[in-house]
Amino acid sequence: KAGVTQTPRYLIKTRGQQVTLSCSPISGHRSVSWYQQTPGQGLQFLFEYFSETQRNKGNFPGRFSGRQFSNSRSEMNVSTLELGDSALYLCASSRGTMNTEAFFGQGTRLTVV
């Protein structure tokens, strides 16, 4: 059974640019969540999608956005990149119903220079 796939694994961008990260969940999972991990702030919730609908969004500026497609694959976009956006971005996949375990992808390491 294939796990959660995130692409790309590593990314270097310049301040002011935008970036799109992709996440393919485990087959049959309809929920995709995104988290940002930094040494200073730890793991912070970005947003969660279920069946193409955003059910919740964390406390991040509007530069952070996401979407989910009908095949449950998800993308997140960060516009006008800032140095502080450098982080490991993790995608988690689950069935999306109560008491379900979340499985994480390998993450995308974004470095903004």
Residues at the interface with another protein (CB under 8 A): 31, 33, 42-45, 48, 50, 55-56, 58, 90, 92, 96, 98-99, 101-107
- Report the greatest alpha carbon distance in the chain: 40
Residue (78 or 92) nearer to another protein, CB: 92
Nearest distance, CB of residue 17 and another protein, angstroms: 24
- Please name which of 108, 110, 109 lies closest in space to residue 5, comparing C-alpha atoms: 108
Residue (42 or 62) nearer to another protein, CB: 42
- Residue 34 and residue 110 in contact, taking contact as beta carbons nearer than 8 Å: no
Nearest distance, CB of residue 86 and another protein, angstroms: 14
Nearest distance, CB of residue 73 and another protein, angstroms: 18
Rounded CA separation 31/100 (Å)? 10
Instruction: Give pairs for 97-102: CB < 8 Å, separation 24+.
Output: 100/31, 102/33
Nearest distance, CB of residue 16 and another protein, angstroms: 27
Strands 108-112 and 10-13: parallel
Residue (41 or 80) nearer to another protein, CB: 41
